[in-house]
Amino acid sequence: MPVPPARRLVIKLGSSLVAGEAGPARFARDIAALCAEGRQVILVSSGAVALGRRLLDLPRNARLDQKQAAAAAGQPLLMQAWRESLAPHGLIPAQLLLTAQDTEQRRAFLNARGTIDALLKAGAIPIVNENDSTATAELRVGDNDRLSARVAQLSGAELLVLLSDVDGLYEADPRRVPGARHIDRVAAITPEIMALAGDSASGGLGTGGMRTKLEAARIAAAAGCATLIGSGEGEGALGRLLDGLARGTLVEATGSPASAYKAWIAGTLAPAGALRIDAGAAAALARGSSLLPSGVLAVDGSFGRGDCVALLDPAGQEVGRGLSRYDDGETQRLLGARGADIAGRLGYSRGDELIHRDDLVLR
Ligand SMILES: Nc1ncnc2c1ncn2[C@@H]1O[C@H](COP(=O)(O)OP(=O)(O)O)[C@@H](O)[C@H]1O
Ligand SMILES: N[C@@H](CCC(=O)OP(=O)(O)O)C(=O)O
């Protein structure tokens, strides 16, 4: 099965793989090989609850508060296991504990995105888990399949790999129906496809089963990211899956991460304010440039960093919209400034552009 090439990948590893006997060490060689090829790898690792439950001797059917306690005790063990696995390959793990809010609220989303970008630039491997110990019932994503899809969305990944104890989607749970047929490729997550998926049956370690994997694939697809569901069992499983040597289920993406991100800016956001720009700036934007402070004449409305603002030309026509790097007060102080003046005027700089071209959509 040909696997789409991806520069940035999110790889999610289920509890049964990470907190089981073999631990995460068997993935390290394949992760190192991906990095050596110049690919950017973000891991979403489950396992904190299972490891902590063992350490604290809590029952399998623990209450929510006991699971939260288990996650608090297990998370350091999980990171220790990853550190010991990655260090021999010269790789540095970095922990990110996210809540649902971090992936849904725009400012938190952009913050998490910035941190992941900075970690990848510094050569580290971001290892994400949900912040289980403090997330309340209403604020939880609840399973790492969906969390990993949110991470794929916020990091602009092209491929989400869901590694589990099963080599993809079957027409029925193969643990319950031994002769069930394997499905190689899914063009879209329709209700008929969703109906094939059952809950977790992996001896009580996993959360969500195939259902949450398909929900994750649907979120990822809408963000322009394909999903590959496969087995992570055995040495070299990740490499074999990505090389098309082991079977899995590929769920296709709709469009690209960049087009999905721009559609999100253009369609889902109501602008919080507006920037009146001059004719030169409007022409530069049409040529594909970012918006610099020197082309902005006036600031309307009240907006924060990361908020969406409309861009109005001298005739008052909206020529586009984008996410502002500076809030309304900062933007006001930057009117007419050149890049080099920004730090002088504000005492700091978040970059020369008011709106970077990647965060900008023209009408
Ligand atoms: N249609 C299906 N195809 C494949 N697996 C299924 C299906 N329905 C339910 N499952 C179950 O989903 C399990 C994988 O999910 P889960 O136990 O949550 O794993 P993980 O911990 O890796 O997230 C499989 O072991 C399998 O028993
Ligand atoms: N955040 C939890 C994992 C939740 C979860 O989705 O588990 P799994 O189905 O094994 O990927 C933990 O670290 O134990």
Query: Concatenated DSSP letters for 65-120?
Result: HHHHHHHHHHHHHHHHHHHHHHGGGT-EEEEEEE-HHHHHSHHHHHHHHHHHHHHH
pLDDT of residue 1: 60
Percent of the chain past pLDDT 70, that is, above it, reads 96
Mean pLDDT of the chain: 92
3-class state of residue 58 by DSSP: coil
Three-state secondary structure call for residue 213: helix
User: What is the number of alpha carbons within 13 Å of residue 172 lying toward its C-beta?
Assistant: 6
**What are the tens digits of pLDDT across the range 121-179?**
999 999 999 999 987 776 788 899 999 999 999 999 999 999 999 999 999 999 999 99
Tokens 């074999």 sit on residue: 240
Domain boundaries, the chain: 8-261, 269-362
Q: What 3-state class would DSSP assign to 275?
A: strand
Which pLDDT value is given to residue 135?
A: 77
Could you report the per-residue pLDDT of 284-343, keeping only the tens digit for each? 999 999 999 999 999 999 999 888 999 999 999 999 999 999 999 999 999 989 877 899
Tokens 């508060």 correspond to 65
CATH 3.40.50.620 fits 8-261, yes or no: no
Phi, psi of 162 (to 5 degrees): -105, 105
The response to whether residue 14 sits with its C-beta less than 6 Å from ligand 1 reads: yes
At residue 66, φ and ψ (nearest 5 deg) are: -70, -40
List the residue whose alpha carbon is closest to atom 4 of ligand 2. 143
Confidence band (pLDDT; 50, 70, 90) for 204?
Answer: low
Proportion of the chain above pLDDT 90, given as a percent = 75
**3 DSSP assignment:** P
Eight-class DSSP state of 134 = T
ipTM of predicted complex: 0.96
Q: Which of 164, 194, 205, 214 to mutate to test the pocket of ligand 1 (most atoms within 8 A of CB)?
A: 164
Task: Please indicate if the annotation marks 209 as binding a ligand.
Answer: yes
Higher-pLDDT residue of 58, 363? 58
Nearest CA to ligand 1 atom 20: 14
- pLDDT given at position 230: 97
Token pair for 271: 């602008």
Give the right CATH number for 269-362 from 3.40.50.300, 2.30.130.10, 3.40.50.261, 3.40.640.10.
2.30.130.10
Of the candidates 163, 124, 122, 168, the one whose C-alpha atom is nearest the C-alpha of residue 144 is: 163
355 CA → ligand 2 middle, Å: 37
Task: Please name the helix (run of DSSP H) or strand (run of DSSP E) that holds residue 56, with its range, or none.
Answer: helix 48-56
Query: Nearest Cα to 28, choosing from 232, 252, 264, 292?
Result: 232
Residue to substitute in 12, 51, 173 for testing ligand 1 pocket (most ligand atoms within 8 angstroms of CB): 173
- pLDDT tens for 45-70 read 999 999 999 999 999 888 889 999 99
Helix (H) or strand (E) holding 162: strand 159-164
pLDDT of residue 283: 95
Q: Is 133 in the pocket of ligand 1 (CB under 6 A)?
A: no
